[in-house]
Amino acid sequence: MAVARALALDPPVILADEPTGNLDSTAGRELMDLLRDLAHRDGRTVVVVTHNEDFIPLADRVIRLRDGRIVADSAPVPVPRQETSPATAPAGRRGPRFGTLVAEAWFSLWRRRARSVLTSLGVMVGVASMVLLISLGAGLQKQVVGALLQNVSLTTVAVNPQASSGAGLSFSTPVQMGPVHPLTPAAIRSFRRIPHVVAAYGVADMLGTIAAQGHSVTTLVTTLPPAAIRGAARPDLLIGHYPASRNPGILISPAMAKALWGLTSGSVTRALGRVVRVSMTAQVTGSGGFIAPPHPVTARLRVVGIVRPTLGSSAYVDLSQAISWLRQTTGRGQPISFGSADVVAATVGEVNRVATAISARGYGAITAQSVIHQVQSTFAVIETGLGLVGGIALVVAGLMIGVVMSMAVLERRREIGIWRAVGARRRDVFALFLAEAVMMGAVGGALGVSVGWALGTVGAALFHHPGLFVVPWWLFGLGLGFGMGVAAIAGAVPANHAAGLRPVDALRAE
């Protein structure tokens, strides 16, 4: 039994301290022959400590000690040894093979598969909720950025009459600084003389009411950029054509056509040519505020096109129509003043230079890059918060893994004692229990990522919104890594407890 225990981990060196002390001469001789075979046949180093002079001829080298000091040392005697195959040669391992450890951990989980499956399902719920919430944030970010790119161009600088406390998108009212510089036609002409500027035009977005056949809709009426300006952002035209100064009209969305005339997506073409009554109630300023005109402005416009709605707007008119409304609300002899202006740079690389030049004149200058960057930064915080909310379930699952592993340690004390009795070290037992926890976390993490992706896909289909959930490629690795990491942390304490059990106490427990 002692020899079998010593060979359990296939050691390259065997130390035998008085191996025949409790044996008779016959059994002692058999044991010494076995040790000699281990040295000569398997190529192991066998060190025997003994007081029996009869075993001297069996040794290749004899070292004599007296009172702790070496008094004699024979020269090594070469002994012919058989060649050993790689399968039988000692590999010098200091523990069980990795494959053996994983197989033993999987076997232990399979024996308690009902408990293991329930524990993995807890991890699955945590990872699935985390993946689902983060993919929701990623989908919303993609939609918002896409809507922004439809409204603005990367080469366009949005100009406000007054400098604000910071450039970019804000979810609160921006703080205005410095004097107000009206965006008159003369000011816009001066922007065109800035180096690297190819075009500049005023923007007169207004808040208005569109009515027809007893129905009305309040919406933001957006000014279209001049048709001659290339690179300016324009809404996607579904049917019809864009209005122009010689062919005035208005563009509306399918939702507005349904609200005004009850037209469905299949009959929305019937809205073309119909006349609506547009009443302007307030002009939108560059800072996001509103200025009410001295008196309401109304006009009758013909629907000339149906467009895909963009962020915050579902109706569009030509710039010449917006200028006509501004002239009706501006005192005689006074220049009109636009709520904001768009300045188009020659290339994307020149946008920041143009924005700096405009800011130097006291105006507020916002670039599309700064808006998108702030949107992405904001959504990064939102996604982190959503991930933390989903991670709460993952923490609960980790606690459940810790409880299950602690119960397993109590139930398997005899098994731990046998492992230790046949030569397993503390770190081998620790690695075994930790491997079981990590494997449960890996299974739960893989299932959680798959379930989260599936729920997102089904949810997007139910809401008829294909881009509502976006699962980035890195989220698969993150979900699997979090599942394994939480399981490893939760299983470390029970694994350490199992490794600290003494073999005698563990075997005596049952």
Q: Are residues 197 and 274 in the same domain?
A: yes
Over residues 182-224, the pLDDT tens digits come to 888 899 999 999 998 988 988 888 888 999 988 999 888 888 8
More confident residue, 138 or 413: 413
Q: How far is CA 450 from the centre of its chain?
A: 15
272 contacts 257 by C-beta, under 8 angstroms: no
Q: CA 87, CA 90: separation in Å to the nearest integer?
A: 8
User: Within 13 Å of residue 282, how many CA atoms lie on the same side as its CB?
Assistant: 12
301 confidence band (pLDDT: 50, 70, 90): very high
Q: How many domains, in total, are found in the chain?
A: 3
Domain assignment of residue 42, yes or no:
yes
**For 443-466, what is the mean pLDDT?**
81
- Extract the tokens encoding 414: 């005899």
**Which stretch of 79-88, 257-266, 287-296, 326-335 has the lowest confidence by average pLDDT?**
79-88
Of 187, 160, 185, residue with least CA distance to 175:
160
**For 474-484, what is the mean pLDDT?**
83
Q: Are residues 65 and 193 in the same domain?
A: no
Q: Are residues 120 and 40 in the same domain?
A: no
Q: Which residues pair with 202 in a beta bridge?
A: 341
Q: Which of 368, 389, 409 represents a domain boundary (last residue)? A: 368
What does the pLDDT read at residue 171?
41
Domain assignment of residue 89, yes or no:
no
Residue 31 belongs to what domain range?
2-73
Look at residue 15 and tell me whether its pLDDT is greater than 70: yes
Domain assignment of residue 78, yes or no:
no
Domain assignment of residue 43, yes or no:
yes
Domain assignment of residue 57, yes or no:
yes
Q: How many CB atoms lie within 10 A of CB 410?
A: 11
**In whole angstroms, how far apart are CA 85 and each of 35, 42, 89, 98?**
20, 9, 6, 21
Look at residue 174 and tell me whether its pLDDT is greater than 50: no
Amino acid at 286: G
Look at residue 101 and tell me whether its pLDDT is greater than 50: yes
Q: Which of 73, 107, 133 represents a domain boundary (last residue)? A: 73
306 contacts 314 by C-beta, under 8 angstroms: no
Q: Are residues 383 and 357 in the same domain?
A: no
What does the DSSP 8-state code read for residue 386? H
Q: Are residues 137 and 185 in the same domain?
A: no
Look at residue 319 and tell me whether its pLDDT is greater than 50: yes
Of 8-17, 377-386, 438-447, where does the model show the most confidence?
Answer: 438-447
Q: Are residues 259 and 284 in the same domain?
A: yes
What does the pLDDT read at residue 391?
74
Q: Are residues 418 and 471 in the same domain?
A: yes
Q: Are residues 179 and 112 in the same domain?
A: no
Of 7-11, 40-44, 143-147, where does the model show the most confidence?
Answer: 40-44
Domain assignment of residue 448, yes or no:
yes
- Extract the tokens encoding 392: 């709460």
In the block, tokens 């449960």 appear at 440
Over residues 247-283, the pLDDT tens digits come to 889 999 998 999 999 988 788 889 999 999 998 888 7
Percent of the chain with pLDDT strictly greater than 70: 86
Length of the chain: 510
Q: CA 32, CA 14: separation in Å to the nearest integer?
A: 13
What does the pLDDT read at residue 300?
92
**In whole angstroms, how far apart are CA 130 and each of 120, 141, 143, 391, 438?**
15, 17, 20, 6, 19
Q: Are residues 178 and 299 in the same domain?
A: yes
402: CB partners within 8 A, 6+ apart: 490, 491, 493, 494
SS3 assignment for 112-131: CHHHHHHHHHHHHHHHHHHH
Helix (H, G, I), strand (E, B) or coil at 81: coil
Look at residue 47 and tell me whether its pLDDT is greater than 60: yes
Over residues 69-95, the pLDDT tens digits come to 888 888 655 555 544 444 444 444 455
Q: Are residues 446 and 389 in the same domain?
A: yes
Q: Which residues pair with 341 in a beta bridge?
A: 159, 202
Q: Are residues 227 and 299 in the same domain?
A: yes
**For 156-169, what is the mean pLDDT?**
68
250 contacts 314 by C-beta, under 8 angstroms: no
**In whole angstroms, how far apart are CA 254 and each of 249, 261, 309, 375, 418?**
16, 10, 8, 27, 75
Of 1-15, 131-145, 197-211, 397-411, where does the model show the most confidence?
Answer: 197-211
Q: Which of 347, 368, 389 represents a domain boundary (last residue)? A: 368
Domain assignment of residue 484, yes or no:
yes
Look at residue 298 and tell me whether its pLDDT is greater than 80: yes
Of 258, 301, 257, residue with least CA distance to 279:
301
**For 277-295, what is the mean pLDDT?**
74
CATH code of the domain covering residue 66? 3.40.50.300
In the block, tokens 């994307």 appear at 348
Angle at 398 between CA 393 and CA 400, to 5 degrees: 95
Q: CA 414, CA 503: separation in Å to the nearest integer?
A: 9
Q: How far apart are the first and last CA of the chain?
A: 21
Domain assignment of residue 120, yes or no:
yes
Q: CA 336, CA 343: separation in Å to the nearest integer?
A: 18
Over residues 222-235, the pLDDT tens digits come to 888 887 777 667 78
Q: Are residues 68 and 177 in the same domain?
A: no
